[in-house]
Amino acid sequence: MKSVGKNIPRLDGYDKVTGKVKYVDDIDIPDCWRGEVVRSDIPYGRIKKINFDKAFDWDKVMTCTYKDIPGKNATIFLSDDQPILAENLVKHVGEAIVLIAAPSASKALEAKKHITIEYDTLDSVLSIEDSRKRKNVIFGKDNIQAKYKIEKGDVKKGFAEADFIVEGEYRTGFHEHAYIETQGMAAIPRPDGGLTVTGSLQCPYYVLKTLKSALLLDETKINVVQAPMGGAFGGKEDYPSLLGMYVALLSIKSGKPVKIIYSRDEDIVVTTKRHPSIVTHKTGVKKDGTITAMEIDVAFEGGAYSTLSPVVLSRGVIHSAGAYKCENTFCTANCYATNNVPTGAFRGFGAPQVFYALEMHIDKVAERIGMSPHEFRLKNCVEVGDRLSTTQLLKESVGAKECLEKVLSAADFGKKWRNNLDTCAFKHLRTKKGIGLSLYMHGGAFTGSGEGMKSEAGLRLNKDGTISVLTGCTDMGQGSHTVLPQIAAESLGVPAALVNTAVPDTAVVPDSGPTVASRTTMIIGSILVRCAEKMKKKLPDLKKRDVKELLKTYYSEHGELKIIERYILPPEIKWDQEKHCGDAYPVYSWAADVAEVSVDAETFEVSVDKLTVAVDVGRAVNPVLVEGQMEGGTLQALGWALMEDCIYKNGKPVNNRFQTYIIPTAKDAPEWKTIIVEKPFSYGPFGAKGIGELPLDGGAPAIANAIYNATGLRITSLPITPEKLYSLYEEKNKIK
């Protein structure tokens, strides 16, 4: 192969290292006004009155409220409960009420100070517990935004067969995306009377959908263009639909181009977070290590509006029993509404929470029967022919065991684990060493028959003899716009240098579905393979030496050649959404992590010395980019495990700055060992599966288990801070 499997440098690399790349805040738009947003500063209440200071000069300042929205005042996702601008009720701190635009940022900011809101405060609900016991009903009839049940076998029978039953509860908190480029969007009036909305966004067609419905315009009047993106991680999946509407409303009303760029503080307060969670486990196990029953309950905090929470919860509960053989599983899940900021998509999409719980719990189960964590996992790890908790039969491409075996041997796990255990109790050691393991997987693409929506993508022959990939999927830094051309080039049999990706503009590219769910390489890639086959049939033999000249000639003789194809869901996929039963995903990617830590025995400071990560991605189209995903995703997991937590007081994060919401620096990062396993998926392009989210799922429990190995302290809530370790240590030593 000439392109697939090769470390082709990122196509946007040159522009990024020279500073030439134009993110939305870098684009110079003539006569562009700047926008600001007046927001709720209470978690729950009725708007009594909006006061516009009469003493202020409102000339040259444009303001908008919900009354300026001609169509539906809602973002269009699974349900339409989130208003674009609050009408008479605010349900979280930071909810937008009035929009402002002015010729300069300082003028807009000045105007903002002259708008005040009066409220009647309502009794807010600010935690999963309060929502669950219905302290106040703030959403629907029972505060529940979504619920699921997954049943396989008979857990009662399973528990009856067990020698031991092990229970546990595990909690995680709010997790901030912390992309380096904050959210920003611009709306620019078009010469034809239409409007272009551009900015830092993952899913142009999502934004378009809300714009069309709220503005009552069709796609001939409005187009959405993705600007180069400085990181997203799911944080720019749903939120840009709101921000896009803000700039569009202000632009339409003022007739000017309008840009809104969030400051870091504002971004952390108002944009979505990872769902906080409480996961409980009850596991039946035999002395020989056979898992006889797993009963799991997953509770997520959805915040004020449902946004994407129903699908986040679904992915969470589907992954909650993990990659283990077990005949009897029973999983329940609820997503609870609160008056905190709406939680939404964040790399892993519900899976990191359930794997933190499961993989810590599995260590506890193994310990109960006196087995080592690795022997227990090797015994129970799924293989081809096994069925997951949704009863999905694993027919092919199951690299779980190989990943496990490879990390165990690369890190010399067994020996180190035993040795640490022996020295854990030694009082004189100032530094305790620990090693921990996790085994996990991530379903590629949308859940169930979700990919039946027939996403489109295409290839276009250009006048200059190059070929462009046409897709509504975006590159947010993950490298898809290098990987997709590699796939197209390989399929066409042309040099990779001849293929690029067109700018994702809804006026130009087809709707490929959103850039989420680790689906781009696998789904869009496989559409491109089919497009290439069709295109090849139309073109002359491309084995000739000067392909570019050949293509140029073809173009001059025949004109533009464009092939658009739709995704076809593998026919054997069967999914019952109601029962959450069947083939939850077309395929899974598998992985295992080994974390090695040093814990200061007195200050309880933890440093992660080394992370060994193995992933089965089917086929690594660009191995360096795959490694980049593995290391980057795992470092985000490290931050979540040890230091990251949005602390909310009365619905407002108190650490909404980079000085207080801290993420790992270069000195917090471990030494990396990455191992790529390739168990090809027959429906993936050249066998490829998803990689984007997977690496965030397994880092935290591996680190938590390593800390337990070092100290004998099992912290069941993230982040694992020295303060929590010390408290638990104190508690344990008092009892003695």
Partner 1 sequence: MKRRIKLNNGIINADADPIRRLIDVLRYDLQVTGTKDGCGEGACGACSIILNGECVNSCIILFGQIEDGDEILTVEGLLKDGKLSRLQESFVKNGAVHCGACIPGMLLSATALLNKNLKPTDEEIKDSISGNLCRCTGYGKIIKAIRECI
Partner 2 sequence: MEFLSPKNLNEALKFKSEHPDFTVLAGGTDACTLINSGILKSKGLINIYGIKEIAEIKENGDFLEIGALATLTQIIENRLVSKFLPVLAMACKTIGARQIQNRGTIGGNVMNASPAGDALPVFLAYETKMELLSAKGSRLVLFEKFYAGYRKTAAEADELAAKFIIKKCDDKERFAFMKVGTRRAQSISKVCACFRQSSSYKIAYGSVAPTPIRCYVTEKFLNGCKTDAFAADEAVRLVRQEVSPMDDIRSTANYRRHVAGVLLKRFLESV
Q: Which stretch binds partner 1 (CB under 8 A): 36-44, 226-234, 271-279, 686-694?
A: 226-234
Whether the Cβ atoms of residue 239 and residue 228 lie closer than 8 Å to each other: no
Number of residues this chain uses to bind partner 2 (CB under 8 A)? 22
* Smallest separation, CB 13 to partner 1 (Å): 4
624 lies in the site for partner 1, by CB under 8 A: yes
Which one of partner 2, partner 1, none interacts with residue 7, CB within 5 to 8 A by kind? partner 1
Q: State which H helix or E strand residue 671 sits in.
A: strand 671-677
CB of 638 to partner 2, least distance (A): 11
Of 696, 577, 655, the residue nearest 235 (C-alpha)? 696
Q: Which two tokens stand for residue 483?
A: 């990987």
The residue from 112, 643, 672, 673 that contacts partner 2 (CB under 8 A) is 643
- If one asks whether residue 19 binds partner 1 (CB under 8 A), the answer comes out as yes
Q: Which residue's CB is nearer to partner 2, number 151 or number 265?
A: 265
State which of residues 2, 137, 647, 731 lies at the interface with partner 2 (CB under 8 A).
647
Assess contact for 6 and 489: CB atoms under 8 A.
no
Return the number of the residue (400 or 646) whose C-beta is nearest partner 2. Answer: 646
- Closer to partner 2 by Cβ: residue 267 or 402: 267
Note whether 635 binds partner 1 by CB under 8 A: yes
- How are beta strands 115-121 and 671-677 bridged, if at all? unpaired
Compute the half-sphere exposure of residue 61: CA atoms within 13 Å on the CB side of its CA.
23
Based on its alpha-carbon atoms, the radius of gyration of the chain, rounded to whole angstroms, reads 26
**DSSP conformation letters of 28-58:** --TT-EEEEEEE--SSSEEEEEEEE-TTS--
Interacting residues with partner 1 between 127 and 186 (CB under 8 A): 177-182
d(CA 61, CA 186): 17
Query: How open is the CA angle 391-437-375, to the nearest 5 degrees?
Result: 70
Q: Which is nearer to partner 1, 119 or 672 (CB)?
A: 672
Q: Which is nearer to partner 1, 18 or 733 (CB)?
A: 18
Query: By CB under 8 A, how many residues form the interface with partner 1?
Result: 58
| 198 contacts 188 by C-beta, under 8 angstroms | yes
Question: CA nearest 698: which of 366, 359, 413?
Answer: 359
Would you count residue 717 as binding partner 2 (CB under 8 A)? no
Site string for partner 1, 671-710 (x = CB under 8 A): xx--------------------------------------
Can you tell me whether residue 735 is helix, strand or coil?
helix
CB 506 within 8 A of CB 468: no
Residue from the set 658, 682, 723, 732 that interacts with partner 1 by CB under 8 A:
658
Question: Which option in partner 1, partner 2, none does residue 602 bind, with CB closer than 5 to 8 A by kind?
Answer: partner 2
647 makes contact, choosing from partner 2, partner 1, none, with CB < 5 to 8 Å by partner type, with partner 2
Residue 558 dihedral angles phi and psi, to the nearest 5°: -110, -10
Strand 329-337 relative to strand 291-303: parallel, antiparallel, unpaired? parallel
Backbone angles phi, psi at 434, to 5 degrees: -140, 150
CA–CA gap between residue 126 and residue 649 (Å, rounded): 9
723 forms part of the interface with partner 2 (CB under 8 A): yes
Distance CA 446, CA 454 (A): 12
Phi, psi dihedral angles at 333 (to 5 degrees): -150, 140
Nearer to partner 2, 473 or 715 (CB): 715
Output the smallest distance, CB 668 to partner 1, in A: 9
Minimum Å gap between C-beta 6 and partner 1 is 13
CB 632: neighbour CB atoms within 10 A?
18
Which residues, 234 to 293, sit near partner 1 by CB under 8 A? Answer: 263-264
Q: How far apart are CA 436 and CA 453, in angstroms?
A: 40
Which stretch, 157-165, 305-313, 652-660, 728-736, contacts partner 1 (CB under 8 A)?
A: 652-660
Q: Which is nearer to partner 1, 478 or 716 (CB)?
A: 478
For residue 727, the partner it binds in partner 2, partner 1, none, with Cβ less than 5 to 8 A by kind, is: partner 2
Of 355-363, 451-459, 496-504, 632-640, the window that binds partner 1 (rule: CB under 8 A) is: 632-640
**For the chain, what percentages of helix, strand and coil (3-state, to nearest 5) are there?**
30, 25, 45
Beta-strand runs (E) in 444-502: 456-461, 467-470, 499-501
DSSP 673: E
Phi first, then psi: give them for residue 238, nearest 5 degrees.
-100, -35
- Between 667 and 736, name the residue whose CB sits nearer to partner 2: 667
| Residue 383 contact, options partner 2, partner 1, none, Cβ 5-8 Å cut-off depending on partner type | none
What span, in angstroms and rounded, lies between the C-alpha atoms of 525 and 718? 36
Contacting residue, 22, 156, 395, 649, with partner 1 by CB under 8 A? 22
For residues 444 and 685, give the distance between their C-alpha atoms in angstroms, rounded to a whole number: 13
DSSP letters along 412-449, please? THHHHHHHHHHHTT-TT-SEEEEEEEEEEEEE-SSSGG
Q: Does 655 bind partner 2 (CB under 8 A)?
A: yes
Residue 605 binds to partner 2 (criterion: CB under 8 A): yes
Give, as ranges, the residues between 259 and 298 that touch partner 2 (CB under 8 A). Answer: 265
Question: Which residue, 188 or 260, has its beta carbon nearer to partner 2?
Answer: 260
**Site for partner 1 contains 31 (CB under 8 A):** no
* DSSP state for residue 68 in the 8-state scheme: G
Closest distance of CB 56 from partner 2, Å: 18
Smallest distance, partner 2 to C-beta of residue 483, A = 33
- Chosen from partner 2, partner 1, none, partner binding at 432 (C-beta under 5 to 8 Å by type): none
Q: Which residues contribute to the site for partner 1 (CB under 8 A)?
A: 7, 9-10, 12-23, 25-26, 28, 177-182, 228-233, 263-264, 476-479, 624-625, 627-628, 630-632, 634-636, 657-659, 663-667, 669-672
Q: Which residues contribute to the site for partner 2 (CB under 8 A)?
A: 265, 602-603, 605, 607, 643, 647, 654-655, 659-660, 662, 664-668, 722-723, 726-727, 730
